[in-house]
Structure 1
């Protein structure tokens, strides 16, 4: 095992699976080789190790050292049945996966491994390992709603190929015709059809359901006829169709074992498709030729000799589609300087237009729609507009769009985020006046949001932005919700695991008081560099929040412990921040003391106790970032977007005189 005074990554492989095989491969039957290559200007060296299966941990474990001034590459080679599977990555990029959760990495040829990566620093005592260093940046989640019926678990899905509902036979495709798919058996339906199914999931029998008849599938002869699966509704490649000899149901080879025992109860999707074509033949928006092109493209997509063939079809189809764009906007007027961050649906760039600098958040339309996030993006825009005059919230200057993306043009936080400061500061503790000052400005932002009936729902150091004058502002309103108060609550399960409030985990309806819980977690992390309910996985975090008591370090001062204790009340009515809380008002807490009283912070009567010196450079980097090209399949999918989907998204602030 790797032993050094330098930080290192402990990597554990728990599962390995070849793509075409359903069963997991016994890790004791594979041979693993790991090569670490050092790269610098003068020479290149490498070290090879051959880790073996650890019976106690039931995984293959090895370590990889991290060095400040040396770039390192990691190569993982796995041999199984005389086939060598390879994986390669930069070790710094690998470090970003050290978040306490298992991740899947892909090998070539097609194979996957499930790994867990842990950051280790021998120079730091074990009981004070820093989570901000150990686990990297944390990401928020929004849990999908599940429709349950006869064992099925249906979740919303965007279908990239023409697909048909297994109940009514109607079309499901793209962003105009949305559907649901069972997580267990892949059955596809409309939302309105989910409770009309007569069959249980994957043939499971229920006491109150009559015994159903099993299908008898036989492979069909090769045919170029366009056929769709009657189970998952998608296109079947020629030669891969199986037909029931009694009820004529046609399915993929992969779907045979997933179809319920309901022979004779289902219609034929191909017949429904033919009827659908006849009904819409004269419809200019959804005519047969339009969808016939789609079937042709997707069934032959991988066999096109040149990408231009695809582009020609897309261009021809685009004549029927009027894309949403911001009139008069030219992307070539914006100069990209550097990348500030990445997200699930886009990136944030430092850009320049004229003599002004901005942070430009880009969101890909296809990913927004596929992730069912459109309402959240629209809400973020509306909230930023409502808060444009508040000094404690990041300012939006401009919102615009082109065919492929949405853009937010905002002010630049040149000192980064509180999370960046935590990483830089650790393990040296923050001075108390800085913790008090940052907390006060965050409270001012939350009070303003709550006065507008907005619940923030994602308070954490990553979303608190630090400016060059030492002030902080709240940003990233992707999970915020409007029209929420004590009389109008919500139930969406969302947030960043370590910061989610008790009542959300308890699956209760909740209001703006969840933000005060998150504030208590944030103050605790600023004071100790760790969160009070942290665990290596979300299940344990949930259990800790629901049942564990907070353990305060002996070094924490009484006033800080008092405000955290009040904010982490499990009863929202008693929680500090609620106006009826028995703990009193936030602004009157002894935590705020001269000169950093709450009134002084709110009215900007005191200077920030610390001014950052390390700022984001406005100089152009050698490698200039560029927006990535949209995949042709995704470009085609965007053509299904209803014309008014992004209508009225564009916005320009009255403060943005220089941009015009």
Structure 2
């Protein structure tokens, strides 16, 4: 059983009493009349006795795919050095994860060749084909003939040269940042492998958010690819009003740092926990701005794949900004598909659960789930009395519900709202709203969005229906206290851990957004 459900059941067991009027609502209520915490908060927005809000926020995950052939267990890998296929002897070319590698014997093959491998896996490490230099310095193809036990240590790699420091750059070259350039102010978020801080750039006194990732947690080839993808999407997102953009990237021997826009209005999860459900006008406004953000990403070949209440932020005016691009898939052209099983369980589209190839359709499904939560005040997949049956408190059961359950639209919603929810939550991606021949234009022309002036909306000329209460640019009243109450510090580096990190994997991570830099130079 997952950690989330274990915590959930422990809390439910400690609060067996029926709900009282005024109970704090959360989007994870099991039914329209059932509440997790059966007592009244001291004041609106305050936690109930015994409440731990961290259980509401469920992180997205990738389920790794393995391919079993003739005893080998192949996994898609990225090779940062020249590698050659053990079957056809040709070089493994390409971007991203170019080939397959057996996780037991380390055999390298093309994706197209992995099913043709005849030699069974020996569970022993076999040196891959490598490049050797001859006496004239020219590269020649050679194969190491020795077989090394997995227990034997790997040969040491040459240590890459350290990245240049800011004070070592040539005059006039692009400015680089380091941790010394920022003052760490407060913790504002935490994920499965990252911490988010509010920071101030000392030179300009501008406030930013800083996402900090420990390299030791992303040394797997696939994890490194995801970090690079997140960086690329952050760069792309810097040009859109409803996407969180990037200021700069830098690294230390132990950590990676993304300096991004600070969006201080809090996320929709935080506000939904206080309002139960949103008026239809509010939900329409947020859904329309999210649609524009998703359409922008899709036009640039990016599937977002992690739309949820936690990742929809409100700025100081009340406009939305999507954040967290760690689940994104890049380089998707019209008609292209992918098959990675990933996402936050409650928002995963049926085609992903069925193991089918999918495209941009999964983002429109997630928007349907999120819009349902805004309008109805609960998930479309809530299971009544699920806490009475442990068999229903599993991800497998949730996935079964997503695949098979008929989604019931609350009668309190308007006909137009019910229609748009049915359109987004169509289990057939071909018939889903936003996935037809007209694509995004089907969403624009839907009766639910008829009152939206799309051009004015994209230019942020439509007044948001709700403006967060803020007393200044450093006001953190809209951030969960379980984050903001944490001490602001980074744990000291462990030399032993750093020694095990291949620093060459992170070469070229540094980046400075030229647009933001020009604005700062005007200060």
SS of the counterpart of 1:585?
helix
Q: Which residue of 2 aligns with 1:542?
A: 399
Classify 1:151/1:357 alpha carbon distance in 2 versus 1 (closer, same or farther; 3 Å): same
CA–CA separation in structure 2 for the residues paired with 1:514 and 1:529: 22
Q: Which residue of 1 aligns with 2:136?
A: none
Q: Which residue of 2 aligns with 1:63?
A: 14
Classify 1:381/1:540 alpha carbon distance in 2 versus 1 (closer, same or farther; 3 Å): same
- Counterpart among 241, 265, 275 of residue 425 in structure 1: 275
CA–CA separation in structure 1 for the residues paired with 2:498 and 2:420: 51
SS of the counterpart of 1:374?
helix
Q: Which residue of 2 aligns with 1:637?
A: 500
CA–CA separation in structure 1 for the residues paired with 2:331 and 2:300: 8
CA RMSD across the alignment: 4.2
Classify 1:119/1:10 alpha carbon distance in 2 versus 1 (closer, same or farther; 3 Å): farther
Classify 1:197/1:319 alpha carbon distance in 2 versus 1 (closer, same or farther; 3 Å): closer
Shift of 1:334: 0.9
For residues 282-337 of structure 1, give each alpha carbon's deviation from its aligned partner in whole angstroms, at most 9, with x where no partner exists. xxxxxxxxxxxxx99x9xxxxxxxxxxxxxxxxxx999442346644332221100
Classify 1:534/1:483 alpha carbon distance in 2 versus 1 (closer, same or farther; 3 Å): farther
Q: Which residue of 2 aligns with 1:390?
A: 240
- Counterpart among 36, 44, 54 of residue 120 in structure 1: 36
Q: Are 1:494 and 2:356 an aligned pair?
A: no
TM-score in terms of structure 1 length: 0.56
Query: 1:415 touches 1:616 (CA, 8 Å); kept in 2?
Result: no
Q: Are 1:380 and 2:296 an aligned pair?
A: no
Bigger Cα displacement from structure 2, 370-379 vs 386-395: 370-379
Shift of 1:618: 2.4
SS of the counterpart of 1:363?
strand
CA–CA separation in structure 2 for the residues paired with 1:574 and 1:484: 20
- Counterpart among 604, 609, 621 of residue 460 in structure 2: 604
> Which of the two has greater strand per residue?
1
Query: 2:15 touches 2:37 (CA, 8 Å); kept in 1?
Result: no
Q: Which residue of 2 aligns with 1:291?
A: none
CA–CA separation in structure 2 for the residues paired with 1:655 and 1:383: 16
SS of the counterpart of 1:350?
strand
Classify 1:145/1:132 alpha carbon distance in 2 versus 1 (closer, same or farther; 3 Å): same
Bigger Cα displacement from structure 2, 376-385 vs 409-418: 376-385
Q: Which residue of 1 aligns with 2:10?
A: 11
Q: Quick check: which has more Rg, 1 or 2? A: 1
SS of the counterpart of 1:120?
coil
CA–CA separation in structure 1 for the residues paired with 2:408 and 2:184: 46
Q: Which residue of 2 aligns with 1:556?
A: 413
Q: Are 1:456 and 2:304 an aligned pair?
A: yes
Shift of 1:616: 8.2
Matches within 5 A, 1:193-204: 195=117, 198=120
Q: Which residue of 1 aligns with 2:517?
A: 656
Shift of 1:651: 2.6
SS of the counterpart of 2:516?
coil
SS of the counterpart of 1:482?
coil
Q: Which residue of 1 aligns with 2:23?
A: none
Structure 1 segments, 4+ long, off by >6 Å, are 131-134, 581-584, 619-623
Matches within 5 A, 1:92-491: 120-122=36-38, 135-150=55-70, 153=73, 180-181=102-103, 187-192=104-109, 195=117, 198=120, 320-324=159-163, 327-328=166-167, 329-354=177-202, 355-370=205-220, 372-426=222-276, 429-491=277-339
CA–CA separation in structure 2 for the residues paired with 1:190 and 1:616: 57
Q: Which residue of 2 aligns with 1:573?
A: 430
Q: Which residue of 1 aligns with 2:94?
A: none
CA–CA separation in structure 1 for the residues paired with 2:54 and 2:515: 43
> Which of the two has greater helix per residue?
2
CA–CA separation in structure 2 for the residues paired with 1:436 and 1:371: 40
CA–CA separation in structure 1 for the residues paired with 2:194 and 2:157: 24
Q: Are 1:528 and 2:384 an aligned pair?
A: no
Classify 1:144/1:440 alpha carbon distance in 2 versus 1 (closer, same or farther; 3 Å): same
Query: 1:520 touches 1:567 (CA, 8 Å); kept in 2?
Result: yes
Shift of 1:468: 1.0
Query: 2:292 touches 2:458 (CA, 8 Å); kept in 1?
Result: yes
Query: 1:132 touches 1:422 (CA, 8 Å); kept in 2?
Result: no
Q: Which residue of 2 aligns with 1:241?
A: none
Q: Which one has more relative contact order, counting CA pairs under 8 Å at least 6 apart?
A: 2
Query: 2:178 touches 2:251 (CA, 8 Å); kept in 1?
Result: no
Query: 1:490 touches 1:510 (CA, 8 Å); kept in 2?
Result: yes
CA–CA separation in structure 2 for the residues paired with 1:363 and 1:588: 42
Which consecutive residues of structure 1, in runs of 5 or more, have no partner in the other structure?
1-7, 13-60, 67-95, 101-117, 125-130, 159-177, 182-186, 200-229, 234-268, 280-294, 299-316
Shift of 1:147: 2.0
